[in-house]
Chain A
Amino acid sequence: MRPREHILKAERLEASLRKLDPSDDFEMVIELCVLAATHLFNAALHVEGVTHGHSDQSHTVRPPMEYHRKSPSDAINKGMNALSDLEKLRPVYVRGGAPFEQEVADGCLQNFATAKQIFFDVIGDVASDREWSEVRRDS
């Protein structure tokens, strides 16, 4: 997927996230934060040239970053840390049986906001509507 496609998908997932309640829909809130942040992670990696459109990360560690010839910037690594913290919630609260915790929900949304900000800073205007239109015209 191209960066713009990842961003559009992340926007759709975040729009769904906004319809849910962090307490009542705890598990899906975690999942949508992970999914949306992962799309932005992929967009940022594509923009830096670490990965390309045919090679998306499904998780921060799949495939391992060492698999790629180019290493991500420190900025992406910081965003990746926030995303990794989101991923760690899944085995406990989504696939596991742990119940809702307000502190965890707050931390989840905060980590999503952090990852989103960092990845968008990396992406810049490379995936803006204008740039995207030009890419599409050229292709």
Chain B
Amino acid sequence: MTPELHLTKAAHFAVSAARLDPVEDYEAIMWAGMHTCTHWTNAIFHAKGLTSVEFDFEHSWYIDRCPDPDRVLAGLDDQLGGLLDALAVFEGLRAAYVRGPGPFGPEVLARSQEALDRVHAVAEEVFGTL
């Protein structure tokens, strides 16, 4: 999928999350944040030439499934590797708090927001203001 289309989809999720309440709807906000970050990360990886538009990964560990994982992994600097780390934050939170029964606390959403902010900062560096 093209970077432009990823950015469009990411924007849709961000708009939906903004309609929701941080306490009442924290699971949905977290889930939307995960999709936003995944679309941003795919867009960045495509723009940087790490992955082709033919290969989108759904989860951080799917990077091993791309046609040339060694090349992709070799191309991960701290910034790009940090995007996968941010996705891993969502992957942990969703298992515990969306699919699982983990009790809500403000720190939970703060962790997902911090991961979202990190990916957002890189996405804006690559694509300009989003």
Interfacial residues, chain A to chain B (CB-CB below 8 A): 1, 5, 9, 12-13, 15-17, 19-20, 24-28, 31-32, 35, 38, 56, 58, 94-97
| Contacting residues, chain A, for B65 (C-beta < 8 A) | none
| Contacting residues, chain B, for A1 (C-beta < 8 A) | 100-101
Closest Cβ–Cβ distance, residue A62 to chain B (whole Å): 11
Q: Tell me which of A16, A24, A38, A96 has the highest count of chain B C-beta atoms within 10 A of its own C-beta.
A: A16
Closest Cβ–Cβ distance, residue B41 to chain A (whole Å): 12
| Contacting residues, chain A, for B101 (C-beta < 8 A) | 1, 5, 9
B32 at the binding interface (Cβ < 8 Å) = yes
Contact, CB under 8 Å: A16 / B20: yes
B15 at the binding interface (Cβ < 8 Å) = yes
Closest Cβ–Cβ distance, residue A139 to chain B (whole Å): 14
Contact, CB under 8 Å: A19 / B19: yes
Closest Cβ–Cβ distance, residue A133 to chain B (whole Å): 17
Closest Cβ–Cβ distance, residue B86 to chain A (whole Å): 17
| Contacting residues, chain B, for A12 (C-beta < 8 A) | 24-25, 27
Chain-A contact segment, one of B6-14, B76-84, B112-120, B122-130: B6-14
Q: Could you show 9 A-B contacts with beta carbons less than 8 Å apart? A: A9-B27, A20-B20, A31-B31, A35-B31, A56-B100, A58-B99, A95-B58, A97-B5, A97-B9
B28 at the binding interface (Cβ < 8 Å) = yes
Residue in chain B with minimal CB distance to A25: B16
Contact, CB under 8 Å: B27 / A27: no
Contact, CB under 8 Å: B27 / A16: yes
| Contacting residues, chain B, for A38 (C-beta < 8 A) | 99
Cα A32 to Cα B5 in complex, Å, equals: 22
B110 at the binding interface (Cβ < 8 Å) = no
Closest Cβ–Cβ distance, residue A32 to chain B (whole Å): 6
Contact, CB under 8 Å: B12 / A26: yes
Closest Cβ–Cβ distance, residue B95 to chain A (whole Å): 9
